[in-house]
Chain A
Amino acid sequence: MNFRNILQEIEKTDPDIYDRLSGRRHILKSFGSKVALAALPIALGSLFKKAYGQTSTAGIVYSLNFALELEYLEYNFYYQGNNTGGLIPAADLPGFQTIASQELEHINFLTSVITTLGGVPYTPSNYNPASNNPAYIPTGTYDFTAGSIFPTFSNYSTFLVLAQTFEDTGVRAYKGQTPVFFGSATLLQQVLELSCVEGRHAAHVRLVRRMTGAAAPDYPAPWITNNIPPIVALQANYLGEDNVTQQGVVITSLKDITGTIPEASATAAFDEPLLQSTVTSLIAPFFLT
């Protein structure tokens, strides 16, 4: 095993390897002579965990700004829906007002954290907010009909379908960002807490849909079963939700009360992550270009 060659190989794909290991270069140099060969894998493992386990502040800000982009999208969706007369039944309106106010709280929270970290908080493209509400952008940024595909603000069922999809996708997007915060205990916890609130929203919207009976009797559940989307056109937002293997454990092979855990339970019990690039392409149709 040639340790220097390993580092050189890493350097080809990660030119910043020595910066990531900054302050540890002298340790690296000492490896060849002082560390027993048998101990090298262990020493290397902990070294690289330190190097890659901690995301730079710039990386953290980038991730938080991605979350902020999603929160702006959601808030503007609900703000417009809540203020469209005749769209949301009176009995359901308080729930959507709760959701909208919490999306706004998320915008404020993320903006504050990013600022504290010395970053520049995201603002939507063509940012031209309402004079009385800096988070609401009435025109120029969003198209929640996705080019007249969805009658979003004239048909309650469609509004609910998109609300469910935005919330489920939000949960999955936060999950995809979790590894960025492994080196930052407080932020990791806060990102998990944000994702839990999105999970609560998702469950509520799904229950509202179930109660309207618009899709099918007793459907959907408040959780994601297999990779079933609300409508076929939104299948891409649910790809990967049918995963049944967690950390190498095949959940459907484990015992439950009467046999083995069925696929429906195995998939519903875990919300699956989405990559940022995937989420960005999923939400792209809802932005004006």
Chain B
Amino acid sequence: MKMLNKPAYNKVEETGKAYDVSRRRFFQLAGGVAGAGILLSACHKRSGPTDVYIGSGDIALLNYLYILEQVEAAFYTQAVTTNYYGITKSELELLTDVRDQEIAHREFLRTLLGANAIPAINTAFKGVTFAERTSFLTNATQLEDLVISGINGAAPLFSDTDYVVSLGKMVTVEARHSAYFRDLNSYNSFADSTIIGSTGLDQNNTPSSVLGIAESNYIVTRFDASKLPN
């Protein structure tokens, strides 16, 4: 196998796309091996060769948010396609709005990242019955609240504050989504004590915690987030 020259490798490392290289190398190694299944199953542990490297510093933080927005866009794309039983015209209109806003967030982050963007991820929404109103609304609320806590937790970790301005513009829209789905599930619960504490502040959580929750609940793809600021 031809060795990659060093400058090219460094470039790949910096741009967070080691994934492409390492995965290709992995399959080249695994190709033709009868026990490929065993090799693949061995790669579910953290930082295995198939893990998608998300970069370091601001790139890692942006890719982390790009992961969350991909999850949201996929979640609502599914929700619109297999919308819940009894949905009204008004509710379908707003559900479609939310989907389109999450797509706008996802595409915005992907564009900001440019060549540093990780590939599209694979999602799986185990335990969500999209056709059932309460199941959808409960899970939509959980997802929105997770993303809100994730953005608020990530904001102070950025070096380039231009990104923080954009995140600030997005996070209150996520809060609008959460409030809407909460109200639909249980009227007047848009900011109740299950989510807003006695100081009147919304949630925050660290990138590693939020990514861990998102990975176990919504995502098939596995990430190497070893350089994600926290």
Contacts and interface: CB of A to CB of B under 8 A. Distances in A.
Q: Do A and B bind each other?
A: yes
Interface of A: 53, 91-92, 94-95, 98-99, 102-106, 108-109, 171, 175, 178-179, 182, 185-186, 188-190, 192-204, 207, 210, 218, 221-223, 246-247, 249, 251, 254-257, 261-262, 264-266, 268-273
Interface in B128-167: 148, 151-153, 155-156, 161-167
A265 B103 contact: yes
B20 interface: no
A255 B107 contact: yes
Contacts, number: 192
Given A223-B97, A265-B104, A246 B77 contact: no
Interface residues of B, number: 56
A105 B104 CA distance: 33
Contact of A189 (B156, B169, B175, B183): B156
A201 B191 contact: yes
Contacts of A106: 200
Contact of A188 (B77, B156, B166, B203): B156
Most buried by A among B102, B175, B202: B175
Given A175-B168, A200-B176, A270-B170, A265 B97 contact: yes
A193 B154 CA distance: 12
A269 B170 contact: yes
Contacts of A102: 191, 196, 200
B104 A261 contact: yes
B180 interface: yes
B22 interface: no
Contacts of B107: 251, 254-256, 261
Nearest to A53: B161
15 contacts: A95-B190, A109-B199, A179-B161, A189-B152, A193-B152, A193-B204, A199-B173, A200-B190, A200-B191, A203-B180, A261-B100, A261-B104, A264-B97, A264-B100, A265-B103
Nearest to B151: A192
Given A182-B164, A193-B201, A207-B180, A257 B188 contact: no
B179 interface: yes
B172 A175 contact: yes
A105 B199 CA distance: 5
A266 B104 contact: yes
B157 to A, nearest CB: 8
Contacts of A255: 107
A188 B105 contact: no
Contacts of A94: 188
Given A53-B161, A223-B97, A247-B162, A256 B172 contact: no
Given A102-B200, A221-B94, 9 more contacts: A192-B155, A195-B171, A197-B200, A201-B190, A203-B177, A247-B162, A257-B103, A265-B97, A270-B173
Contact of B192 (A98, A109, A210, A271): A98
Which 5 A-B pairs have CB atoms at the shortest separation, nearest pair first?
A105-B200, A199-B172, A185-B156, A199-B175, A196-B202
Interface string B81-97: 00000000110011001
Contacts of B41: none
B147 to A, nearest CB: 11
A252 B200 CA distance: 35
A198 B171 CA distance: 11
B112 interface: yes
Contacts of B168: 175, 178, 192, 195, 273
